[in-house]
Each structure stands twice: as structure tokens, then as C-alpha cells.
């Protein structure tokens, strides 16, 4: 088992996708009555410097990880529809993030402030037809017998025509603002979570929900991360997903505005950092 930094393990390059979409995603067939109205969205400037400032003490710490993943067979990189893309994600991205979470959680098992979480394929134990069933759920890695899972950050998968695989927060005519963003917000709203996310063959979209003075209206903060990061971007899909999992574990209440995470959770992060430094 190689010993390497957490960020190096997370930053294994994404597979090169062969996109042949024959069946675009649809919004769930269930009634959308009661879903939030999304008039617009604002940009969440979630940069590499911000992530490094928040969790750098952890990202650059060395741990014992399994060998790097071998590349997937070419046929598994073909994206025909939502199902084929979701399968690829479970074999690559959420698998890598889950392994990283497990390794770090084991090393910090003695630190109660560190959130012990996983990314599960499926919606969680408190899903039904009324509140909907997202594709992924951030869950406690250990749940006592008889206790339902509590989803901390629901995630969905969408594959659409190329024009709609990316999201511009300021474009309210975009299908994301009208349909998919409303679906994502509904899953977060019914579970009382601050964070929610969506992944397409083009990018990962991470959202942070804010409170609103108008009932039924949500104006989420949105950050996007390319499937193949530009050289200046510096944030891989895996790193961004790992970030939102830890952020959801540190605090998940919904507010009108948010402080810097390093300030909001200063005491927890100080205790986690002290434990990491002592490893």
C-alpha cells in the first residue's frame, strides 16, 4: 500500500468519456407540486485556495492508501444514458472518495470532531415517492441498528444534450434553473440539508442552500467543477466532492448567509488539525 498525500490520491485523473447520449435524463416522473421555485442562482466562489485554506492540513498529510486504480475498460467509458454514467461514477469517483474517507476516518477514529461519512449509491433510508429518491446520499459510515440513515447531502446524476450539460448560474433560461436545479433543491429541502450536488459528463455542480424570505423560493449558491479541470482550475471532481462531504459533516443547518467554513467551524477544525499533526 503506497503512502501518499490525500490530495494526490484524490486527484487521480478522470476517465476520458465517450459520450454517445441516446437517452437524456428526465426530471422524476413524480408530481413536482411543492417543489421550490428557483428564480435564479448565485455563484459560489469555491476555489482551490479556499479548499486548501480550509482543509490543507489534511489534504497534504500522508496516509496509507491502496494502489492507484487501473484505468477502466473503454466500453465502461461510454455514456449512453444516466444509468451507464452512474455506473461509471460508482466504479471511479465515488469509489475513490469513499476509500479516501475510510482511510482518513480510520486514522482519526479517536477524534469525535471528524465526521465519519461515506457516499452511498442510493437515496438513504428516509426516502419515499413523496420526497423523492436522489441517486446518491452522503451518510454516516456507521449507523446504529434500527436507526434510519440521515442524508447530509443528496446527489443526482444527469446526462442531457451537450448544451445543457453545464450550468451558468446567471442564465435563468437554462434548463438547470427551471427543472433540474428545482429537483436538486427539493431533495435538499425535504431532508433539511445545506448542501446538494449534481454530476454530469461535463462537470460537478455543488450547491449550497440559503434561507429565503419568500416561502417556496430558493436561490442556491452554485459552484461548478469541470470533468477535466483546466490547468488554472486546480480542483478535481474528486477533491470537490470530498470537500462537500466534509463540509456537510461539520455543519448542515441552513442560513441566509454563511461565514468562511474555517471560521464557522473553527473549534472543530482546530481539534482535527491537532490530531492530524500528531499522526
Rounded mean pLDDT of 235-240? Answer: 96
DSSP, residue by residue, the chain:
--EEEHHHHHTPPPPPPEEEEEE-----SS--TTPPB-S--EE----HHHHHHHHHHHHTSEEE-PPPPPPPPGGGGEEEEHHHHHHHHHHTHHHHHHHHHHHHHHHTTT-TTS--EEEEES--TT-BTTTB--SEEEEES---TTPPP--SSEEEE----GGGSS--TT-TTSHIIIIIHHHHHHHHHHHT-SEEEEE-SSEEEEEE-B--SSTTB---EEEEEESS--TTT---HHHHHHHHHHHHHH----BSS---HHHHTHHHHHHHHHHHHT-
Residue that wins the pLDDT comparison between 208 and 212: 208
The predicted-structure confidence for 27-57, as pLDDT tens digits, reads as follows 655 556 678 888 888 899 999 999 999 999 9
- Predicted local confidence at residue 193, as pLDDT: 93
Confidence of residue 250 (pLDDT cuts 50, 70, 90): very high
- Predicted local confidence at residue 156, as pLDDT: 92
The predicted-structure confidence for 147-170, as pLDDT tens digits, reads as follows 666 789 999 998 876 655 666 766
- Predicted local confidence at residue 28, as pLDDT: 58
3-state secondary structure 212-267: CCCCCECCCEEEEEECCCCCCCCCCHHHHHHHHHHHHHHCCCCECCCCCHHHHCHH
Calculate ∠ Cα 68-73-77, nearest 5°.
100
Structural domain boundaries of the chain? 3-27+37-277
Residue that wins the pLDDT comparison between 123 and 67: 67
C-alpha grid cell, residue 111:
477524534
- Predicted local confidence at residue 151, as pLDDT: 87
> Does the pLDDT of residue 237 top 90, yes or no?
yes
Percent of the chain with pLDDT over 70: 83
The predicted-structure confidence for 72-83, as pLDDT tens digits, reads as follows 899 999 998 989
User: Distance (Å, rounded) from C-alpha 79 to C-alpha 77?
Assistant: 6
Confidence of residue 183 (pLDDT cuts 50, 70, 90): confident
- Predicted local confidence at residue 270, as pLDDT: 98
User: Distance (Å, rounded) from C-alpha 192 to C-alpha 34?
Assistant: 15
Beta-ladder partners of 43: 222
- Predicted local confidence at residue 145, as pLDDT: 57
> Does the pLDDT of residue 255 top 60, yes or no?
yes
Phi first, then psi: give them for residue 68, nearest 5 degrees: -60, 150
> Does the pLDDT of residue 171 top 80, yes or no?
no
> Does the pLDDT of residue 94 top 60, yes or no?
yes
- Predicted local confidence at residue 63, as pLDDT: 97
Mean pLDDT of the chain: 86
Whose CA is closest to 208, among 176, 254, 242? Answer: 254
C-alpha grid cell, residue 20:
454517445
Range with top average pLDDT, 58-62, 82-86, 161-165: 58-62
- Predicted local confidence at residue 10, as pLDDT: 95
Confidence of residue 177 (pLDDT cuts 50, 70, 90): low
Amino acid at each position: 500500500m503506497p503512502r501518499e498525500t490525500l490530495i494526490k490520491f484524490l486527484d487521480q485523473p478522470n476517465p476520458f468519456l465517450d459520450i454517445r447520449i441516446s437517452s437524456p435524463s428526465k426530471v422524476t416522473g413524480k408530481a413536482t407540486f411543492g417543489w421550490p421555485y428557483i428564480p435564479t442562482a448565485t455563484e459560489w466562489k469555491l476555489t482551490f485556495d479556499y479548499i486548501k485554506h480550509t482543509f490543507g492540513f489534511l489534504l497534504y498529510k500522508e496516509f496509507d492508501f491502496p494502489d492507484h486504480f487501473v484505468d477502466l475498460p473503454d466500453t465502461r467509458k461510454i455514456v449512453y444514458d444516466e444509468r451507464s454514467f452512474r455506473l461509471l461514477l460508482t466504479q471511479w469517483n465515488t469509489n475513490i472518495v469513499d476509500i479516501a474517507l475510510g482511510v482518513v476516518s480510520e486514522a482519526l477514529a479517536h477524534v469525535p470532531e471528524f465526521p465519519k461519512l461515506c457516499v452511498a449509491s442510493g437515496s438513504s433510508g428516509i426516502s419515499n415517492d413523496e420526497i423523492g429518491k436522489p441517486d446518491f446520499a452522503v451518510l454516516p459510515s456507521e449507523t446504529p441498528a434500527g436507526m434510519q440513515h440521515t442524508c447530509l447531502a443528496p446527489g443526482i446524476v444527469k446526462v442531457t444534450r451537450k448544451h445543457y450539460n453545464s450550468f451558468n448560474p446567471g442564465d435563468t433560461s437554462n434548463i438547470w434553473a427551471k427543472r433540474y436545479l428545482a429537483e436538486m433543491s427539493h431533495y435538499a429541502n425535504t431532508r433539511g440539508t445545506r448542501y446538494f450536488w449534481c454530476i454530469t459528463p461535463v462537470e460537478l455542480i455543488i450547491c449550497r442552500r440559503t434561507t429565503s424570505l419568500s416561502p417556496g423560493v430558493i436561490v442556491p449558491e452554485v459552484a461548478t467543477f469541470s470533468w477535466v479541470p483546466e490547468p488554472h482550475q486546480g480542483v478535481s471532481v474528486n477533491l470537490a466532492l470530498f470537500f462537500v462531504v466534509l463540509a456537510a459533516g461539520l455543519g448542515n443547518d441552513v442560513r441566509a448567509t454563511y461565514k468562511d467554513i474555517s471560521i464557522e467551524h473553527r473549534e472543530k477544525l482546530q481539534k482535527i488539525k491537532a490530531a492530524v499533526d500528531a499522526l
